[in-house]
Structure 1
């Protein structure tokens, strides 16, 4: 079932999404080549039903008849131009990395944005009447779920270390392990990020780090794990190997058994 994709959709109508794609192409025509436009069109076609597309690189490569490397280059350009958003998707059941989710973003007409001259207006010296009875406290365009999402009771941690600490505190009640677990993550990620082929995967490594911690915490509830950082080390290594292995596999036609040293 792919109905979960509706959670990522930026449009409620496919015609609005099609129009946004057309306007993106028109506005960035000189920045895009034929492959970029073909990849965008493929994402658009796969997004018609649910507003987002869940695609593997090899599926996209076959769809536009280009190599995986060329497709990934086009995806990075579309992201840089603000045309699409890419979300790394992790299969919760298999504890592994799935295909990416691609979302076409709404088109923002830069020419219609407020200019500095328009933004600065003379202050009216007349006092403003507080008409609280006739005006709503919040705009009607703001829906309840947005209020819950954008107005949390307390600020959420933004750093990976902060997220790890908060997760441990809210689950096993011991946030002191966060520093050791973060050290495990740093040891594994830094070793891989130094290679140019992985230098753009920082966000993916952080996502896998949190996923590995969730798996470790969940496992500790069902069995006796005396060394959670050690268990986390094994889980994270498995997720990273699977993520990078599956990405590399699509670039080679030869069997990959024995390619990595164990």
Structure 2
């Protein structure tokens, strides 16, 4: 059974606190008007306890209730509201020593900004110069020469074959283009899909499988976080190159 530290590292969706804060800001812009004040208060509290592993917090319902001055039932109801709109994912965590349930693990989901990506032809990225940072993610709302951008509405020929083969059995048309965009935004500019075909395909299929089994509610956010984590492992040399 995983320790809470291992679980947090495995599920960490953001590289740092600033990324998490930007995602929360976007979530509130999209859903804030429809959320009760208590739900927003809970989200902000979770973010304060999700700094060590950005986006991941361990808390009990009773602890949250005590901090915000609400009943446990009210906390549970508003957490469910945050889960239902896809802002957070709730993962029950079992204590590894004494057994039984411990604090819940809460994961703040990355924002989905696929609609902000221009749907033009997919192009190869400019190779990063040696003087540039060796590892880093570009802001999800910006386009640069290092970005892949989506192909035109009816032209799928420019989608890399490994990505098309993994996604096309499940999605077509606009849905396919959306998930192509999510994968390209999540991975690092220097990570080539063609060099890690099996790893990326397995990551995508596993994310979709978990969604279909009901283990996760927000496929876009989970896939983004999974691809980002995989890219980090590839950069660190933890995943071997494959054909």
Higher helix share: 1
Task: Indicate the structure (1 or 2) with the bigger Cα radius of gyration.
Answer: 1
Q: Which one scores higher on RCO, CA 8 angstroms, separation ≥ 6?
A: 2
Provide TM-score, normalisation by structure 1: 0.46
